[in-house]
């Protein structure tokens, strides 16, 4: 889906509108997303700083959405876990910049080609207008080929016929040049 359309849709998304979250930019290649949140009466906590739930909501879905667009429909991409550390009080407008590299995407694709789950952990910081870190977030994602596209799982009989080679690779058949 085109980045401009997704950006438009996200800016109309009720939970983001309610929290005051704004998607400022999505690069056409989905390797960069910039998000901001202005201080409003409805996203302020009891001590006059940004509510922690709103800070988390502004960083919640973006790495998942970026990878979904980059990897395409052959992959399952889910948010699996997150850790947020509140570093300093957030006041005024806060921002978060999500960045992926081609190398990161290629590594995820290479690992997922086995059919097993890949769990990349991706960091993002929420910063205030003065550049001070307000919160550090680590997102743990789950990425896996869809079931119909996964390579076949070796049968127990096939696994029993495999022995480690000198390098410890268990993928060498027992009869592959082995002298008994």
> Residues 7-47: pLDDT tens digits?
999 999 998 998 899 999 999 999 999 999 999 988 899 99
Residue 131 makes CB contacts below 8 A (sequence gap 6+) with none
The helix/strand/coil state of 26 is: strand
Quote the pLDDT of residue 156.
74
Buried b (16+ CB within 10 A) or exposed e, 102-124: eeebeebbeebeeeeebebebeb
pLDDT per position in the chain (180 positions), as tens? 799 999 999 999 998 998 899 999 999 999 999 999 999 988 899 999 999 999 999 999 999 999 999 999 999 999 999 999 999 999 999 999 999 999 999 999 999 999 999 999 999 999 999 999 999 999 999 999 999 999 987 777 766 666 665 555 555 444 444 443
Task: Report helix, strand or coil for 43.
Answer: helix
Q: What is the dihedral of CA 165, 167, 169, 172, to 10 degrees?
A: -20
Cα–Cα distance between 38 and 43 in angstroms, integer?
Answer: 9
Q: Look up the pTM and report it.
A: 0.82
What is the spatial distance between Cα 109 and Cα 88, in angstroms, rounded to a whole number?
A: 36
């Amino acid at each position: 889906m085109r980045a401009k359309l997704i950006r438009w849709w996200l800016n109309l998304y009720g939970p983001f509108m309610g929290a005051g979250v704004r998607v400022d930019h999505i690069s056409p290649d989905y390797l960069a997303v910039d998000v901001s949140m202005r201080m409003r009466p409805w996203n302020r906590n009891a001590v006059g700083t940004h509510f922690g739930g709103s800070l988390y909501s502004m960083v919640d879905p973006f790495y998942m959405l970026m990878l979904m667009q980059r990897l395409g429909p052959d992959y399952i991409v889910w948010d699996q876990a997150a850790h947020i550390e509140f570093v300093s009080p957030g006041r005024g407008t806060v921002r978060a910049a999500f960045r992926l590299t081609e190398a990161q995407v290629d590594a995820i694709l290479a690992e997922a080609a086995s059919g097993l789950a890949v769990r990349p952990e991706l960091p993002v910081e929420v910063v205030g207008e003065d550049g001070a870190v307000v919160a550090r977030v680590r997102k743990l994602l789950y990425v896996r080929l869809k079931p119909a596209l996964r390579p076949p799982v070796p049968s127990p009989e096939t696994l029993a016929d495999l022995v480690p080679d000198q390098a410890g690779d268990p993928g060498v058949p027992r009869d592959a040049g082995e002298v008994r």
